[in-house]
Amino acid sequence: MKKFFRVKNILLAIIIGLTVAGVVLAFTGPTLAPTGGTPYFWQLSSGNMYYTGGNVGIGTANPGAKLHIDASSGGGALNIVTTVNPLTDLVSINENVASNNAAMRILTPTGGNADQNTGLNIQSRYTGANPLYIYDSNNNPLFTVKAGGNVGIATTTPSYPLTVSGDIYSTGYVRAATGLCMAGVCQTAWPSGSGSGTVTSVGSGAGLTGGPITTSGTLSINNTGSVQSCTNATTQKVIWNASGYFGCATDQNSGGTITGSGTSGYVAKFDAGQDITNSLIYDNGTNVGIGTASPSYTLQVAGSEYITNYLGVGVAPSASYPLYVSGIGYITSYIGVGTAPNAVNGITVATGGNGVWAQGTSNGVWGSGPSTGVSGQASGNGAGVVGYGAGSGAGVSGTGGATGNGVTGTGGSSSGYGVYGTGSTGVYGSGTSYGIYGNSSSGIGVYASSGYTGIMAYGGTGYGVGGQSTNSYGVYGTGPTGVYGSGSSYGVYGYSTNYAGYFSGNVYVTGNLTVAGTKSFIQPYPNDPTKEINYVSMEGADTKVFFDGEGQITNGVAVIQIPDDFKTVVSHQKPLIVTVTPNGNPASLYVADKNYDTITIKSNDTKDVAFDYFVTGFRGGFENSMPIQPNTHFVPASTSTKDINNFEQQFKLSNNDTHYSKVGKELDKNLLIQNGILNSDGTANMGVIDKVLNSK
């Protein structure tokens, strides 16, 4: 029923009905005609009747369209009636060519009865049927008329007489006889009243004058008379006090009193309201405390002290000793003399003077702090910190906090020392991160000179000695043993984007020499000063030794004597492998006999020819080489951040890499990604690394 009541389908039904009603004769075609008459123009084919010659007029002899119906003589123009439910649309209008003309247009008469001149009258006689649906080209609803009379715009389910799915824009008024509803709030009339009103009375309270005001007037602050809200209205007035508001204060002209209270022992002070209260100074008659009510000394300060000039305790201070304490001094926090306070801070400008000088039977100077325990700086030829310990004490001893330093020294010139020590142990350091840490922008971070060991350090889970430099040596040593290292993981560990270790001289290894890249020798290239020759060693799965040479077949036989040095190093448990190559003319040579003393070569054709030979064998004690071994080199030493970062850095390319090192890094990186040690982006795969480390 939905399609039946569409407007366009009804109009199409009108057109088709007119066509059918206008034809009342049966025509057989233009070639058949009544005897002696003109041929007909209608054609009949397979039950279809059609006319292609021009326009068809009904009620008019001058049709102006393909079908023109003139009902001026009376009666309806077209009436289509069906008594069955149609399976398709009764009328269909399809405009297949894009144009600016309407697919259908209805014009009403220009005069007559307005009730009769209806452009379009659609009546649904079936109960519950929906009279009208209009859709766009994508079958989206544009206009809907439901059976109950509700109209929908952009919706097919209007629940009100007018339901719009979307915004409504009107250039005129929106009128509603009953009321308007917005967001669930409905109003049947505008709220009464206006936005203005009248204050009938304003009174003046305590401290104000001019009230009450019933029509108009001015309120003023009563600062000349008594104030009812003050404690004593007779002797107090309202004033603008230092706190930025009006308050009560004693009228000095009337002989008022001071208010407030304090605690016995405290020095009194005035607060912001000019009342008496306690200060930070406490005096018990014997000792004075600042910030404490229980001083144990003549003057005890709980907090930081800042003195802009000199301080002498038990002795007069001077420019040479801004802080001079003779006897026992006790400070629970900080004291600064001539500068902002640190634990102890002393500055001297006199030549040969000391910023801080102390001497004791245990520790001359002892400092502990979350940043720096003791810090010293010298501008001349002196020392930043000098300490002399008597007995078993330490000349300088410092303990740093979680992220600080026990002792820090800074040298003022390239020839000075940040920290300098002499004695049995010149400088001794112990720490969870660094025992001794030195940093230099152009010189040496840590320098040590000794007749035996310049620097000796023991590391727990870290490094015994760690050195880092941006443009020189991380660790540099000279002497009978320039650098000596011993450790459970690495005796000496070096990392650099250029050379992790550089040796000018011979290198002796008592164990195995294992490389992830290649083993090669280099020498200058005589044909190009920008190039050098790099020859790479051969590699194999077995540990082999070899010797080679030249021989001569005489009377069909030759005997090769095995050198004594080769007999010593070659394994006598594995057979030798001998390769011979004739020189000059072709010859059939073969190994007739071989042992660990001689090798016999014979010729099948008894030719006397010269030949080359190459003899290899397993190195003694290394007969059972295993190419595939447990992974100990391609895995971090631990899961610490430092070891993980060092491990990942091994496979990152740098500008200093040679061709072979670049190839080796890329190869190793891809293989480690394949076995899971590294992720696809080159970072460490901690899950696999934990498994490998735990399997050791």
Closest-CA residue to 266 (of 284, 241, 254) = 284
What is the reported pLDDT for 366?
A: 64
Q: CB of 153 within 8 A of CB of 40?
A: no
Q: Which of 146, 684, 128, 147 is nearest to 155 (CA)?
A: 146
Residue 675 lies in a domain: yes
The β-bridge relationship of strands 299-301 and 288-290 is parallel
For residues 4 and 89, membership in a common domain is answered with yes
Q: What is the pLDDT of residues 549-599, one digit of tens each?
A: 999 999 999 999 999 999 999 999 999 999 999 998 888 999 999 999 999
Q: 328 - beta bridge partners? A: none
Q: Are residues 430 and 380 in the same domain?
A: no
Asked if 556 and 602 count as a contact pair (C-beta separation under 8 A), the reply is yes
User: For the chain, what is the domain count?
Assistant: 5
Q: Report if residue 652 sits inside a domain.
A: yes
Three-class SS string for 132-190?
EEEECCCCCEEEEECCCCCEEECCCCCCCCEEECCCCCCCCCCCCCCCEEECCEEECCC
Considering the domain architecture, whether residues 4 and 70 belong to the same structural domain is answered as: yes
Residue 290 has pLDDT above 60, yes or no: yes
pLDDT at 382 > cutoff 80: no
Residue 397 and residue 459 in one domain = no
Inter-residue contact 304 to 333 (CB < 8 Å): yes
The verdict on residue 676 lying in a domain is: yes
529 vs 463 pLDDT, higher one? 529
Give kind and range of the element (H or E) at residue 549: strand 544-552
Tell me whether residue 529 is in a domain.
no
Nearest Cα residue to 335 out of 364, 368, 301: 301
Shared domain for 3 and 81, answered yes or no, is yes
In a domain, 653, yes or no: yes
Q: What is the mean pLDDT of residues 240-252?
A: 61
Query: How far is the C-alpha of 55 from the C-alpha of 71, rounded, in Å?
Result: 17
Looking at the fold, whether 449 and 383 belong to one and the same domain comes out as: no
Which residues 6+ apart lie within 8 Å of 438 measured at CB?
418, 419, 444, 445, 446, 447
Kindly indicate the confidence band of residue 262, based on its pLDDT and cuts at 50, 70 and 90: confident
Do the Cβ atoms of 211 and 202 come closer than 8 Å? yes
CATH number where 572 lies: 2.60.40
Residue 641 maps to a domain: yes
Boundary residue ending a domain (419, 451, 483): 419
| pLDDT bracket for residue 405 (50, 70, 90) | low
Q: What is the mean pLDDT of the chain?
A: 74
| pLDDT tens for each residue of 135-190 | 887 888 888 888 778 888 989 888 888 888 888 888 888 787 777 787 778 888 77
Residue 675 pLDDT class (50, 70, 90 cuts): very high
| 240: number of Cβ within 10 Å | 12
Question: Residue 600 belongs to what domain range?
Answer: 544-618
DSSP H helices in 286-330 = none
Domain final position from 378, 395, 419: 419
Q: What angle do CA 644, 663, 654 make, to 5 degrees?
A: 55
Q: What percent of the chain has pLDDT over 70?
A: 55
Span 268-276, average pLDDT: 81
Rounded Cα distance, 534 and 660, in Å: 10
Q: Say if residue 425 is in the same domain as residue 487.
A: yes
The answer to whether position 261 is within a domain reads no
Predicted pLDDT at 325: 58
Verify that 553 and 603 share a domain, yes or no.
yes
Confidence (pLDDT) at 190: 73
Same domain (yes/no): 410, 430: no
Structure tokens at 259: 């208010």
Q: Which residue has the tokens 């003022």?
A: 412
Q: Which of 319-323, 348-352, 524-528 has the lowest mean pLDDT?
A: 348-352
Residue 190 lies in a domain: no
Residue length of the chain? 696
Average pLDDT over residues 40-57: 76
3-class DSSP state for residue 556?
Answer: coil
Domain end among 595, 618, 641: 618
| Higher pLDDT, residue 576 or 541 | 576
pLDDT at 111 over 80: no
Question: Is the domain of 12 the same as that of 85?
Answer: yes
pTM for the whole structure: 0.39
Q: Is the per-residue pLDDT at 113 higher than 70?
A: no
- The three-state secondary structure class of 592 is strand
Instruction: Note the pLDDT tens digit of each residue in 605-627.
Output: 867 899 999 999 999 998 988 88
Q: What is the pLDDT of residue 28?
A: 41
Q: 583 and 665, same structural domain? A: no
pLDDT of residue 661: 76
- Give 658-670 pLDDT, tens digit per residue: 776 788 888 889 9
Which whole number is the average pLDDT over 188-205? Answer: 69
Residue 575 shares a structural domain with residue 642: no
Helix (H) or strand (E) holding 374: strand 372-377
3-state helix, strand, coil in the chain (%, to 5): 10, 25, 70
